[in-house]
C-alpha cells in the first residue's frame, strides 16, 4: 500500500505539548499520509502549552476506526482531558483490537491506561505516570523509545525523531 493511502488520527485537546503534536503532524504529512486531527468535541480548536492553536478535523464521536491505520496521542496536559472521554477510549480500544499502530508520547500513555490496552505491553512514558502504567499491567521501561507489537511509545520530546521513524516503519510494513 502506498503511503498516500495511509491515514492516521492525531489527538488534540487543550494544553497539548506543542512539539509532540506538531512534529508528528508535519512528519506524517511529509510522507503523504492523511492526518485527521481529532478532538473530544468540546470546541473546534485547541491551544497547546506554548500557545500554538490547532483546528480539529473531526470530533471523536464521529470516527470510524476502519477508516484509519493508526493513532498518535501527544503528551502535555491534554491526556488528562483525553483519557476521560468515552469516544477517545473506544477509538484506542478498537485500534488495539484491530492491531493498528498506537503511538503515545510522554503523558500520552495515560490515555492508553484509561483505554485498558497496555496490559502485557512494554512501554515508556514520562516519570509522573510510571505508577499508572505499572498498575494497569504495563511493563514499564525507562528507554527513550519502545516498540512492542503495535504500540510505539516515546518518553520525552527529544525522542520524537526515533518515535516517528518507528511509526513510519510500522506503516510501511
From the candidates 107, 138, 153, 164, give the one annotated as an active-site residue: 107
Alpha-carbon dihedral sign for residues 93, 88, 4, 157: negative
Q: Specify whether the CB–CB gap between 61 and 41 falls below 8 A.
A: yes
95: nearest Cα among 68, 126, 61:
68
Residue 107 known to be catalytic: yes
List Cβ neighbours of 169 (8 Å cut-off, separation of 6 or more): none
147: number of CA atoms within 13 Å, CB side? 13
Query: What span, in angstroms and rounded, lies between the C-alpha atoms of 70 and 100?
Result: 5
Task: Identify whether the C-beta of residue 149 lies closer than 8 Å to the C-beta of residue 101.
Answer: no
Catalytic machinery residues: 107
Amino acid at each position: 500500500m502506498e503511503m498516500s493511502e495511509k491515514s492516521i488520527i492525531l489527538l488534540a485537546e487543550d494544553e497539548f505539548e506543542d512539539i509532540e503534536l506538531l512534529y508528528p503532524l508535519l512528519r506524517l504529512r511529509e510522507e503523504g499520509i492523511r492526518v485527521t486531527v481529532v478532538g473530544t468535541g468540546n470546541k473546534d480548536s485547541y491551544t497547546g502549552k506554548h500557545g500554538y492553536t490547532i483546528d480539529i478535523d473531526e470530533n471523536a464521536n464521529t470516527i470510524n476506526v476502519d477508516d484509519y491505520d493508526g493513532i498518535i496521542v501527544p503528551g502535555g496536559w491534554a491526556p488528562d482531558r483525553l483519557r476521560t472521554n468515552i469516544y477517545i477510549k473506544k477509538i484506542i480500544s478498537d485500534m488495539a483490537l484491530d492491531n493498528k499502530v498506537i503511538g503515545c508520547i510522554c503523558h500520552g500513555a495515560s490515555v492508553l491506561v484509561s483505554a485498558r490496552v497496555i496490559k502485557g505491553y512494554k512501554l515508556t512514558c514520562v516519570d509522573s505516570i510510571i505508577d499508572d502504567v505499572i498498575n494497569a499491567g504495563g511493563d514499564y521501561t525507562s528507554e527513550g523509545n519502545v516498540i512492542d507489537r503495535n504500540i510505539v511509545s516515546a518518553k520525552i520530546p527529544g525522542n520524537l525523531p526515533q518515535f516517528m521513524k518507528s511509526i513510519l516503519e510500522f506503516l510501511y510494513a
